[in-house]
Amino acid sequence: DADVTQTPRNRITKTGKRIMLECSQTKGHDRMYWYRQDPGLGLRLIYYSFDVKDINKGEISDGYSVSRQAQAKFSLSLESAIPNQTALYFCATSDKRSGANVLTFGAGSRLTVL
């Protein structure tokens, strides 16, 4: 099983629908992140969380919300999806105890909003 699991892997939805992307990890890492990737724009940070009680906005948080239900679970919600939220979304984790503090990514969730 993957260390960082994202569900769903692919989702097609309509404008105005509420969508939740889920992320769970078995790495025991305390830090979790949500990024979106668009062609030519690289990875942009949406939200990040350093523990269950810590939630922080990233570069592009408008239109998104998150919930850190447990150390291992971090979900991203689009309350009312719009077409320009069509993108590839990645969850990532890192461990502050590790000197390198590198990011480990999930496989990604491809979201299409019609």
Partner 1 sequence: QKEVEQNSGPLSVPEGAIASLNCTYSDRGSQSFFWYRQYSGKSPELIMFIYSNGDKEDGRFTAQLNKASQYVSLLIRDSQPSDSATYLCAVKGGNNFNKFYFGSGTKLNVKP
Residues that bind partner 1 (CB under 8 A): 33, 35, 40-45, 48, 50, 56, 58, 90, 100-108
**113: Cβ contacts below 8 Å, ≥ 6 apart:** 13, 14, 15, 17, 81, 82, 83, 84, 85, 86
Nearest distance, CB of residue 80 and partner 1, angstroms: 27
* Nearer of residues 58 and 63 to partner 1, judged by Cβ: 58
* Nearer of residues 9 and 18 to partner 1, judged by Cβ: 9
CA distances from 55 to 9, 34, 90 (A): 24, 11, 17
Nearest distance, CB of residue 21 and partner 1, angstroms: 14
Both tokens assigned to 91: 């969850």
Both tokens assigned to 69: 């239900």
* Nearer of residues 42 and 62 to partner 1, judged by Cβ: 42
* Nearer of residues 49 and 85 to partner 1, judged by Cβ: 49
**63: Cβ contacts below 8 Å, ≥ 6 apart:** 78, 79, 80, 82, 85
Nearest distance, CB of residue 18 and partner 1, angstroms: 25
Nearest distance, CB of residue 15 and partner 1, angstroms: 25
